[in-house]
Amino acid sequence: MTSLIVSKFGGSSVANAEQIIKVAGIIGSSSDRKIVIVSAPGKGKNDKEKITDHLINIATEGRHFHSQKKEISGNDSKNAVIDKFSSIIKDLGIEGDDIIENLKSDLDKNLPDKMKRDFYASRGEHYNSIVVSRYLNKSGLEAWTALPEDIGLVVSEDFGNAKVMPLSYKNMKKNLVTESKPGIAVVPGFYGITENGDVAVFSRGGSDLTGGEVAYAVDAALYENWTDTDGIYQVDPRIIPDSEVIPKLTYKEIRLLSAKGFNVFHYDAMIKCRKKEIPINIRNTNNPESEGTLIVSDRIPTETVVGIARLDNTAYLYLEKSGSGDTIGFLAKLLDIMKRFGIETYHYPTDRDDVSVIFNQHDLNGSENDLIDMINEELQPDVLEINHDLTILSPVGKGMKDHPGIIAEAAIAMKEKNISIEILDQGPAQYSFHFGIQNRYSDTAIRALYERLILNQG
């Protein structure tokens, strides 16, 4: 059985020379860490913007930051990117004149608009993989830069949201697990190469996706996701400082938590690992002694509620129409209308002839009246209203299924704090349930649920 570990290091882990030195120490501490995925340098203490945002700003000739009401020109961003890499190279003490010259050349490339943004956006990961590889060699760890074009990471031509093509898996296994290239393969995350040889990036956060796809291709024993947190906490530690890191979660539990604000890594990375039951270990580059959180296919729960997720700034649309419960496709028509407005929906608590649809209220983007007009015109409801400023609190845990009355306990905790529950919804697998409350009660409510369901659970 393979002992191969694929290790992905996020932007905060490779933000500067100091962090890259830590990364080298982690890689060198285990001979099983043979494949490393790196992100673009993250935002350091003296950086006002992320490198990837600067790169997109260069590609859009300053429009990217201008749309955010930031007066940073494309040339300003170009200087920021070059200065960032120059500083890292100098502080690491590696040879890098060629890196800077090639970077400058890439940032002057004239490409068609549909390809330009992706090419520029990928340069952070591209050049950081070369920097990390060189530093590993300087540190006495044999390493090589495994660019997507070299390992056959072929993706679709969906620029900005590329998908890995099936032939990539055979390519990557052949080219990454090979005796012809011994040592540590350093792979840039976030992008691949189309069949025409063009650069296409995944959605933002796509370095995680690269890691998951590589782990899947090479049949890794473990996929490590190194970041700046000790793992997945029971609740947000900024609100509950005593919250502890969860040692082990199932794929289903992390999926339920991540849908409500526990955004640790790209979901698609988890899908591939889940197919081959490859464990995922969330760990902290700044605290490698911590074992982090291990995500596995199954576990025996010793608790009822393992974590509580929180999603602020939601709204819900409430619709009532006599006979809608007997009308095939009524809900589908409603969701289709919301889709036309670009609204991502979460839950659909229903009764016989009424339905609520929960969504991010920012997705309304000034189109609330138009949305209401369209629903009235096409569905002709008896009652239609949109309620704002809701928080969704979601206790999650495999142990809930064998714990009758857990929702009642949670409701009592809310009652004791005089908090009204506006929406109640339970997942059919009984791994989670969801309370909708007003935003202004959210801190008080999550403390009450934490004390009742986690601290005091039997």
Mean pLDDT in residue range 359-374: 93
Query: Is the predicted pLDDT of residue 119 greater than 60, yes or no?
Result: yes
Asked if 280 and 321 sit in the same domain, the reply is no
The pTM for the full model equals: 0.89
Q: Tokens standing for 320?
A: 């009532």
Query: Is the predicted pLDDT of residue 262 greater than 60, yes or no?
Result: no
Q: Is residue 302 part of a domain?
A: no
Query: Is the predicted pLDDT of residue 125 greater than 70, yes or no?
Result: yes
CA distances from 49 to 41, 42, 75, 76, 120 (A): 11, 9, 14, 12, 16
Asked if 369 and 251 sit in the same domain, the reply is no
Rounded Cα distance between 251 and 253, Å, is 6
CA angle (312 as vertex; 442, 291 as ends), nearest 5? 85
pLDDT digits (tens, 9 = 90+) for 160-212: 999 999 999 999 999 999 877 889 999 999 999 999 999 999 986 778 899 99
Output Rg (C-alpha) for the chain, integer angstroms.
24
Give the end of a domain, one of 262, 296, 330: 296
Asked if 116 and 167 sit in the same domain, the reply is yes
Asked if 233 and 371 sit in the same domain, the reply is no
**Confidence (pLDDT) at 349:** 79
**Confidence (pLDDT) at 33:** 97
**Confidence (pLDDT) at 2:** 72
pLDDT digits (tens, 9 = 90+) for 284-318: 999 999 999 999 999 999 899 999 999 898 999 99
% pLDDT > 90, the chain:
80
**Confidence (pLDDT) at 263:** 58
Q: Of 16-30, 371-385, 420-434, which gets the smallest average pLDDT?
A: 420-434
Q: Is residue 301 part of a domain?
A: no
CATH number, domain at 86?
3.40.1160.10
Q: List the domain range (segments joined by +) for residue 278.
A: 5-296
Q: What is the mean pLDDT of the chain?
A: 92
Query: Is the predicted pLDDT of residue 72 greater than 70, yes or no?
Result: yes
Asked if 109 and 55 sit in the same domain, the reply is yes
Asked if 210 and 314 sit in the same domain, the reply is no
pLDDT digits (tens, 9 = 90+) for 312-366: 989 999 999 999 888 899 999 999 999 999 998 887 778 889 999 999 999 998 8
Asked if 400 and 424 sit in the same domain, the reply is yes
Asked if 289 and 314 sit in the same domain, the reply is no
The amino acid at 219: D
Q: Is residue 95 part of a domain?
A: yes
Mean pLDDT in residue range 398-426: 93
Q: Tokens standing for 458?
A: 């039997």
% pLDDT > 70, the chain:
97
Asked if 392 and 255 sit in the same domain, the reply is no
pLDDT digits (tens, 9 = 90+) for 227-257: 999 999 999 898 999 999 999 999 999 888 8
Q: Is residue 20 part of a domain?
A: yes
Query: Is the predicted pLDDT of residue 261 greater than 60, yes or no?
Result: no
CA distances from 31 to 38, 50, 212, 287, 420 (A): 18, 32, 20, 19, 55
Asked if 290 and 362 sit in the same domain, the reply is no
Query: Is the predicted pLDDT of residue 44 greater than 60, yes or no?
Result: yes
Give the end of a domain, one of 296, 326, 358: 296
Asked if 246 and 381 sit in the same domain, the reply is no
Give the end of a domain, one of 296, 327, 361: 296
Asked if 275 and 380 sit in the same domain, the reply is no
Query: Is the predicted pLDDT of residue 260 greater than 60, yes or no?
Result: no
CATH number, domain at 331?
3.30.2130.10
Band (pLDDT 50/70/90 cuts) for residue 266 is: low
Tally of domains in the chain: 2
Q: Is residue 416 part of a domain?
A: yes
